[in-house]
């Protein structure tokens, strides 16, 4: 049976107010340590932040309150928590430390708990941020899942069940590479006896496994349910099962779900709907969304015996193995620029580029031989190397591969993202009054829509940068070859003129002596044919001149593109401004709905609709201009790729002509020496 208790949530204290009479006030000193602020306060006690004036070291001190209901048994359990915290050593579990000299004086009958201080706040603060109202980024949720799964598996290997895994008990520690997520609040709550379980978890029932609701015996799988719930909320911005329902209704409804259902919500007709899919919109790629749905179906099973997927042959829980596999999969994110379509394709180390291209063809209908693939650097992949070259290590700033069609250089036809249904409704009816939860949903999706337009435009900027880098890189080789062609055709003509002058002299001398001297009509006929042949070199000169003129026109166009505001990183902030406005409005709505006031929140949607409609107007203008600019770059690339083989062929023809001139010269010299030999032999006779 569910137990009903009054909530006693953790209170966040202002840096200038300390709510615990057992602690000195902010700014007071203990030896070299200064009290910076109170981090949190609740029924269990107070956590404060202290800073060493000499070393700049920061440390969190947790002090248990000695209240009337603090029995001797629970005092002993507090001591156990302190001992456990000092014993645990894992990078994703907040470390327990020795109380530094100078702060022991804060201690009374119960020991203090000194802990490493994590300066990034807790996950609740992250999830409450308006920018995360529809979930955090894929990169951040990957980091969160990786870190907390490692922490939970470590605790379970030490026969410790957390039992109170929730966003408030996950803290962030910025590091040089990325933000680390760590578990806190271990020991005390899980050491309580079964009769006080629900009371110790008041205010966080939404994260508790069902068996803890009703006071049944439990195992480590209670942490799987809580962990899955936290990840679902991080992915979507909301908890998975009827997040606004009271506990009794929640339990009675959610227990009806099938094993693989990972979400429950109220439909338009007021009935509870179950689904095996994640809520949308969210910030996951389609491939990663499917993987997380598979994992959540293991974590959110109602039956604790099957939750987590059981033990594997490797003596690890299948849920941890599955998550490891998911997070280790290399996924290439490819933006098909013209269609504004993001394709996410898993790639293996053995997969060839040809195999990747066939997968791209399946999703885009672009034939393999018409695919123009560019890396973010502007380089074209090496088609003799594995497809993994189109993958990059996940990071906060996404790195995409860009896909164009070789046969299409006019990119004006681009598919825009549609408004989410809830946003469509308030755009049609901006003055309609909605219940707070429905309004919050519509406004959250409005924020997401504005984020999506801004993100898509930045992806478009990335595609412009990639294709421009590709053009400039190809242009360097193009200019080199063009200059080589111009120089070599000049050298060829100079040699040709010298050869022609020499040939004409030889032919003239031959004509002068043939009436009384030696005759060789065959030799002279060959020389005449050679004279005709070298005259054809002027045609090669004309062709080279035409290519040079075409190349000069192309160079002018490329220079104009480089001078474009887009190429110079035009500072287009209108979409970001719309996103910021939507986030501010959403934050104000959440602020108005805090506490017991949400039932009285009745706001028009006019301002949010204005932000959304302005976002669409600015998007259409910005995208149209950018697509036109990209089209011009693509047209230059196409023209360059068309001219480049012609210039290469022309250079080859010039080289062949020069070799032919040398051959003609040798042949004529051979003829002359033979002619001279004959003449000498006649004179001797």
Q: Which of 40-54, 115-129, 237-251, 262-276 has the lowest mean pLDDT?
A: 40-54
- 636: helix, strand or coil: helix
Give the model's pLDDT for residue 75: 77
Q: How many domains does the chain have?
A: 4
Q: Is residue 460 part of a domain?
A: yes
Supply 607's token pair.
């301002």
- CA dist., res. 480 & res. 367, Å (int): 32
303 with 220, same domain: the answer is: yes
66 with 32, same domain: the answer is: yes
Residue partners of 213: CB distance under 8 A and separation at least 6: 2, 198, 205, 247, 251
Over residues 506-552, the pLDDT tens digits come to: 888 888 887 777 788 888 888 889 888 888 888 899 999 999 999 99
For the chain, what is the mean pLDDT? Answer: 87
- CA dist., res. 26 & res. 35, Å (int): 5
- CA dist., res. 106 & res. 524, Å (int): 116
Find tokens 């901006």 and name the residue: 430
Q: What is the percentage of the chain residues whose pLDDT exceeds 90?
A: 61
- Whether 127 contacts 140, CB under 8 Å: no
C-alpha distances in angstroms, 373 versus 337, 389, 618, 631, 645? 11, 12, 29, 16, 20
- 80: helix, strand or coil: helix
- Whether 97 contacts 114, CB under 8 Å: yes
Give the model's pLDDT for residue 520: 82
pLDDT band at 202 (very low <50, low <70, confident <90, very high): very low
665 with 535, same domain: the answer is: yes
- CA dist., res. 620 & res. 630, Å (int): 15
Over residues 377-393, the pLDDT tens digits come to: 999 999 999 999 999 99
71 with 134, same domain: the answer is: no
Q: Is residue 208 part of a domain?
A: yes
477 with 360, same domain: the answer is: no
C-alpha distances in angstroms, 507 versus 318, 343, 522, 568? 93, 71, 13, 62
What 8-state DSSP symbol labels residue 564?
Answer: S
- Whether 473 contacts 379, CB under 8 Å: yes
105 with 181, same domain: the answer is: no
- CA dist., res. 59 & res. 26, Å (int): 15
Q: Is residue 514 part of a domain?
A: no
Q: Evaluate if residue 376 carries a pLDDT over 70.
A: yes
474 with 392, same domain: the answer is: no
Nearest 5°: phi and psi at 52? -80, 120
Q: Domain range holding 366?
A: 331-408
626 with 556, same domain: the answer is: yes
Among residues 355, 333, 335, 329, the alpha carbon closest in space to that of 344 is found at 333
Residues with active-site annotation: 164
Domain-ending residue, one of 328, 361, 377 = 328
- The CATH number of residue 130's host domain is 1.10.510.10
Please tell me the total number of residues recorded for the chain in this structure: 685
110 with 127, same domain: the answer is: no
Q: Is residue 420 part of a domain?
A: no
**Which range, 115-119, 509-513, 568-572, has the best average confidence (pLDDT)?**
115-119
Q: Is residue 166 part of a domain?
A: yes
- CA dist., res. 576 & res. 488, Å (int): 53
Domain-ending residue, one of 309, 328, 347 = 328
Q: Is residue 416 part of a domain?
A: no
Q: Evaluate if residue 68 carries a pLDDT over 70.
A: no
DSSP 412-468: ---PPPPPPHHHHHHHH-TT----HHHHHHHHHHHHHHHHHHHHHHHHHHHHHHHHH
Q: What is the dihedral of CA 274, 277, 279, 281, to 10 degrees?
A: -150
What 8-state DSSP symbol labels residue 396?
Answer: S
- The CATH number of residue 72's host domain is 3.30.200.20
- 37: helix, strand or coil: strand
- Whether 446 contacts 583, CB under 8 Å: no
Over residues 284-335, the pLDDT tens digits come to: 999 999 999 999 999 999 999 999 999 988 889 999 999 999 999 999 999 9
Class of residue 236 by CB neighbours under 10 A (exposed 0-12, middle 13-18, buried 19+): buried
C-alpha distances in angstroms, 3 versus 164, 190, 207? 17, 18, 16
Among residues 298, 227, 286, the alpha carbon closest in space to that of 260 is found at 298
Supply 642's token pair.
């068309």
532 with 575, same domain: the answer is: yes
| Beta bridge pairs of residue 96 | 115
Q: Evaluate if residue 17 carries a pLDDT over 60.
A: no
Distance from chain centroid for Cα 286: 13
Distance from chain centroid for Cα 509: 79
Q: Evaluate if residue 191 carries a pLDDT over 50.
A: no
Give the model's pLDDT for residue 69: 60
- CA dist., res. 269 & res. 334, Å (int): 40
Give the model's pLDDT for residue 43: 56
Q: Is residue 5 part of a domain?
A: no
- CA dist., res. 674 & res. 671, Å (int): 5
Q: Evaluate if residue 1 carries a pLDDT over 60.
A: no
Class of residue 78 by CB neighbours under 10 A (exposed 0-12, middle 13-18, buried 19+): buried
Say whether the peptide bond before residue 281 is cis (omega within 30 degrees of 0): yes
Give the model's pLDDT for residue 601: 64
Give the model's pLDDT for residue 597: 57
- CA dist., res. 257 & res. 274, Å (int): 7
- Whether 232 contacts 35, CB under 8 Å: no
- CA dist., res. 422 & res. 408, Å (int): 36
What's the N-to-C CA distance of the chain in angstroms?
136
Task: Please report which residue ranges of 329-435 form alpha helices under DSSP H.
Answer: 353-364, 421-428
Class of residue 642 by CB neighbours under 10 A (exposed 0-12, middle 13-18, buried 19+): exposed
Among residues 180, 175, 184, 169, the alpha carbon closest in space to that of 147 is found at 180
Class of residue 169 by CB neighbours under 10 A (exposed 0-12, middle 13-18, buried 19+): buried
- The CATH number of residue 559's host domain is 1.20.1270.250
- Whether 261 contacts 276, CB under 8 Å: yes
| Beta bridge pairs of residue 181 | 172
Domain-ending residue, one of 328, 358, 373 = 328
Q: Where are the beta strands (DSSP E) in 249-329?
A: 263-266, 272-275
295 with 349, same domain: the answer is: no
- Whether 496 contacts 537, CB under 8 Å: yes
85 with 216, same domain: the answer is: no
Give the model's pLDDT for residue 3: 41
- CA dist., res. 218 & res. 197, Å (int): 11
Q: Evaluate if residue 65 carries a pLDDT over 70.
A: no
- 266: helix, strand or coil: strand
């Amino acid at each position: 049976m569910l137990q009903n208790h009054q909530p006693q949530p953790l209170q966040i204290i202002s840096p200038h107010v300390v709510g615990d009479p057992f602690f000195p006030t902010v700014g007071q000193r203990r030896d070299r340590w200064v009290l910076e602020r109170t981090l949190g306060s609740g029924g269990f006690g107070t956590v404060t932040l202290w800073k060493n004036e000499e070393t700049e070291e920061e440390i969190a001190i947790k002090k248990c309150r000695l209240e009337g209901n603090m029995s001797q048994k629970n005092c002993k359990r507090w001591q156990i928590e302190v001992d456990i915290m000092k014993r645990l050593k894992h990078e994703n579990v907040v470390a327990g430390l020795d109380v530094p000299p100078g702060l022991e004086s804060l201690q009374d009958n119960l020991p203090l708990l000194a802990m490493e201080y994590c300066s990034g706040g807790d996950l609740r603060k992250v999830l409450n941020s308006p920018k995360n109202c529809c979930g955090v980024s894929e990169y951040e949720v990957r980091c969160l899942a990786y870190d907390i799964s490692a922490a939970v598996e470590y605790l379970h290997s030490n026969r410790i069940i957390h039992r109170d895994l929730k966003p408030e008990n996950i803290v962030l520690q910025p590091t040089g590479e990325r933000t680390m997520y760590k578990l806190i609040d271990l020991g005390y709550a899980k050491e309580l006896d079964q009769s006080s379980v629900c009371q110790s978890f008041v205010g966080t029932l939404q994260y508790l496994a069902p068996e803890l609701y009703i006071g049944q015996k439990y195992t480590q799988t209670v942490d799987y349910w809580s962990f899955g719930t936290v990840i679902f909320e991080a992915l979507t911005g909301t908890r998975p099962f009827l997040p606004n329902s009271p506990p009794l209704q929640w339990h009675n409804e959610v227990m009806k779900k099938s094993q693989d259902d990972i979400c429950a919500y109220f439909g338009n007709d007021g009935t509870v709907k179950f689904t095996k899919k994640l809520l949308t919109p969210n910030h996951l790629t389609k491939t990663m969304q499917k993987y997380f749905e598979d994992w959540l179906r293991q974590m959110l099973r109602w039956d604790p015996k099957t939750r987590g997927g059981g033990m594997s042959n490797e003596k690890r829980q299948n849920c941890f193995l599955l998550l490891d596999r998911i997070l280790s999969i290399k996924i290439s994110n490819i933006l098909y620029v013209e269609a504004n379509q993001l394709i996410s394709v898993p790639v293996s180390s053995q997969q060839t580029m040809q195999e990747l291209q066939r997968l791209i063809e399946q999703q885009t209908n672009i034939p393999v031989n018409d695919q123009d693939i560019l890396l973010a650097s502007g380089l074209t992949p090496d088609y003799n190397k594995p497809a993994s070259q189109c993958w990059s290590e996940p990071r906060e700033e996404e790195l995409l591969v860009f896909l164009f069609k070789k046969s299409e250089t006019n990119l004006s036809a681009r598919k825009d993202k549609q408004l989410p249904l809830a946003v469509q409704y308030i755009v049609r009816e901006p003055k309609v009054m909605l219940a707070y939860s429905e309004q919050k949903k519509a406004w959250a999706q409005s924020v997401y829509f504005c984020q999506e337009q801004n993100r898509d435009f930045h992806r478009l900027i990335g595609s412009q940068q990639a294709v421009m880098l590709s053009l400039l890189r190809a242009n360097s080789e193009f200019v080199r070859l063009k200059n080589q062609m111009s120089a070599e055709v000049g050298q060829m003509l100079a040699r040709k003129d010298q050869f022609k002058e020499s040939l004409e002299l030889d032919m003239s001398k031959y004509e002068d002596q043939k009436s009384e001297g030696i005759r060789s009509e065959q030799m002279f006929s060959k020389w005449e044919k050679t004279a005709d042949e070298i005259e054809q070199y002027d045609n090669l000169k004309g062709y080279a001149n035409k290519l040079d003129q075409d190349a000069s026109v192309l160079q002018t166009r490329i220079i104009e593109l480089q001078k474009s505001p887009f190429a110079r990183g035009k500072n287009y902030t209108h979409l970001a401004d719309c996103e910021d406005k939507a986030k501010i409005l959403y934050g104000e709505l959440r602020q108005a709905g805090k506490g017991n006031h949400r039932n009285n929140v009745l706001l028009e949607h006019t301002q949010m609709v204005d932000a959304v409609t302005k976002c669409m107007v600015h998007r259409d203008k910005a995208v149209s201009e950018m697509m036109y600019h990209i089209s011009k770059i693509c047209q230059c690339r196409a023209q360059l790729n068309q001219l480049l083989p012609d210039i290469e062929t022309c250079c080859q023809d010039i080289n062949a002509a020069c070799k032919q001139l040398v051959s003609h010269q040798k042949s004529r010299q051979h003829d002359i020496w033979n002619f001279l030999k004959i003449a000498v032999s006649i004179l001797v006779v």
